[in-house]
Each structure stands twice: as structure tokens, then as C-alpha cells.
Chain A
Amino acid sequence: EPEVTQTPSHQVTQMGQEVILRCVPISNHLYFYWYRQILGQKVEFLVSFYNNEISEKSEIFDDQFSVERPDGSNFTLKIRSTKLEDSAMYFCASKGGGRAQETQYFGPGTRLLVL
């Protein structure tokens, strides 16, 4: 069964460093998402991406964040200058584009720790 994959599974970085989180969505999906979950808190929406552009973003998704689909398979989240509060689990999700394609399929997540 097709699934969303994410790499790395864990990342430790120093405050102020740039990190890139990678995702490979399900191959025929058209909508892509990033969410994050700070330890002990709810899963929060960051950004959605469709047709090679951001379609929606939350207040969390400030200028330090960017997303890119550099080729036909990868979908990346970049944090330019990480802060301590960026420590969280980051989930990628994808969704098909047809009618009644309302389900988002999630990857296993990348646990980011900023020191």
C-alpha cells in the first residue's frame, strides 16, 4: 500500500542552524501539507501546497519557514534559523486531487530537537 515517507526520523541541531525536513508524498497525490506537534500539545497545521504554490498557511508559518517541491517526488520543509521553540515532531501529509478525496495520509514524522 502506498505511504508517505519522511527523512530523517530524528534530527538534532543547534539554535540558529538551518534544517531541511524531507517528505515523499504518495505518488499520485496533488495536495501536500506540513503539520507539527510540540511535545504534549495538539497537532498544528503549518502549510498546504498545491499546484507548486502555497495554498494556505498558519500564523506559525512565518518567514523562517519555507516549502518546496524540488522535483516530482519530494516535498521539503526548510527552517532557516531554528529556535528552541521549533523543537517538535513534524508530520508531512498528502491528499489526492479527485472528488471525495478528503483524506490526508500522514508520514511517520521527523522529530526535531533544537539545542
Chain B
Amino acid sequence: AQSVTQLGSHVSVSEGALVLLRCNYSSSVPPYLFWYVQYPNQGLQLLLKYTSAATLVKGINGFEAEFKKSETSFHLTKPSAHMSDAAEYFCAVSDKDTGNQFYFGTGTSLTVIP
């Protein structure tokens, strides 16, 4: 089975600083990878996804993530944090063959300090 590890359950950055949220997956075959964001009292919104095309993926709200097979990582970054980025971020993986269930990480809560 797939699994996802998100290092750091809480990350705090200053407004304007770099955002780096870490995600590592365990799979012998590169899967599909996703980042979702959850704002308070809302559902999971897709930020970006990797589906074996370009390894650097750009998403909404200025976020991007780079798939690194050698490191089995899919870290999420944003050059300059905005107050509105404060939310819970989830990394998820699905099996490329079945594309069925998603396996989620435990989530990272991002706080942006003014």
C-alpha cells in the first residue's frame, strides 16, 4: 500500500517569506501525487497534481511542487507567503494503475505571521 509522510504538523512563516511544506511518499512505482488545501470550515481544494508529465508542477495561488523520484518527494513551495495562505495542507498519493483511493498525509497547518 502507498503511504505519505508530511514532516512538520505545524509550520510558521512570516508574511513574504518562503513557504516549504514537505511530503515524501513510499512507492516502488511513481504514483500520482496531489496537494490539497483546507481552509477553516471548508472542504479539500486541489492545489496542484503530478501525473508523470513535467516534474515541476505549478498550481493555484502561486504554489508549485517538484516531483523528485530519487528522493521520493513532492514538496510544496511558494516564494512569498501571504496571510491568506494560512490553512491546512494535505499531500495525497494514488496508485497510478488503479487511480482509485487516495492515501493522505497527516497534514501540515501553515501559520503566516504578519
Could you tell me the distance in whole angstroms from the C-beta of A97 to the nearest C-beta in chain B?
A: 11
Partner of B103, one of A45, A55, A100: A45
Find chain B residues with CB under 8 A from A33 CB. 101-102
State the CA gap A43–B99 with chains docked (Å).
Answer: 17
- Kindly state whether residue B74 has any CB partner on chain A within 8 Å: no
Q: Size class of B's contact patch?
A: 20 to 34
Q: Report A-chain residues with C-beta under 8 Å of the C-beta of B98.
A: 56
Question: What does the 1/0 interface line of A34-45 toward B look like (CB < 8 Å)?
Answer: 010000011111
Chain A facing B: main interface SS? strand
Q: Which of B44, B49, B100, B107 contacts A42 (CB 8 A)?
A: B107
B65 to chain A, nearest CB (A): 15
In contact, A108 and B42 (Cβ under 8 angstroms) = yes
Residues of A close to B7: CB separation below 8 A: none
**A56-B101 contact given A43-B90, A109-B43, CB 8 Å threshold:** yes
Q: Is A76 interfacial (CB-CB < 8 Å)?
A: no
Tell whether B104 is near chain A: CB-to-CB under 8 Å: yes
Docked Cα-Cα span, A46 to B99, in Å, equals 15
- When C-beta atoms are compared, the residue in chain B nearest to A106 turns out to be B44
Min CB distance A59 to B, Å, is: 11
Residues of A near B106 (CB, < 8 A) are 41-42
Pull 6 A–B residue pairs with CB atoms less than 8 Å apart, ordered by A: A31-B100, A43-B90, A91-B43, A100-B51, A106-B36, A106-B44
Give the A-binding residues of B (Cβ under 8 A). 32, 34, 36, 41-46, 49, 51, 90, 92, 94, 98-107
